[in-house]
Amino acid sequence: MYPSKPIHIIAFSNGCRIGSWIETRLRNLDIKIKLTCVAGAYGGSILIDKFKIPLKLFLDKDIICELSTKSNVNDNLKKMINEPVNIGKRFYEFYGTTCDLYIPNFNDCFPIITNTNQNLTVIYHEIKNHYGHGSLGWYLKEEIIENSLKWFNDEQ
C-alpha cells in the first residue's frame, strides 16, 4: 500500500541525485513529494576528475564514473527530472553556496527544470555565501524544517 500522506525527501550532495532518482521512479503514483536538495552534485564533482587514480583505491570504478563531471548518468538523471509530472504533485527546492570546494560550479546545484506545470513546482533559493559544502545544511536546518512544516500543512 502506498502512502496517502505527503513525502518530504531532504538530501545533501550526492544524496540529491539519489533523491531525484527516487522521485522520478515514483512519477506514476498519485502522491505528493517534496525534494529539498542542499549542495546537490547534479553535475558531478571536479574533485573526482582530479583525483581518479587515488580514489580507485577506495571507490568502485562505476561510482567514480557516475560522479565525474562528464557522466552520462548525470545527463540521464537531468532528462528524467524533466519528464512531465502527469499524476501526483511534486515540489523541488534547491540550495547552493558560492564557497563549495566539492562542487565549485555552484550552478550544478541548480539543475534546470523546464517542464513545470500545475503538478510540479520548482524553487531555486538564493545562493548562500560564507558556508562550505558541509556547513550549508547545518546553516539551513531551521529554514528547511520551517519550509517543510509549512508544505506539509498546505498539502493536508
Q: What is the mean pLDDT of residues 57-79?
A: 84
Q: What is the arithmetic mean of pLDDT over 110-138?
A: 89
% of the chain at pLDDT higher than 70:
97
pLDDT at 57: 81
Which one is predicted more confidently, 104 or 83? 83
Q: What is the mean pLDDT of residues 84-88?
A: 89
Residue 20 has pLDDT above 90, yes or no: yes
pLDDT band at 43, cuts 50/70/90? Answer: confident
- The reported pTM is 0.87
List the Cα angle 84/86/87 in 5-degree steps: 135
pLDDT of residue 2: 57
83: left (phi over 0), alpha (psi -120 to 50) or beta: beta
Least confident of 2-6, 98-102, 125-129: 2-6
> Quick one: pLDDT at residue 92?
95
Whether 72 has a pLDDT exceeding 70, the answer reads yes
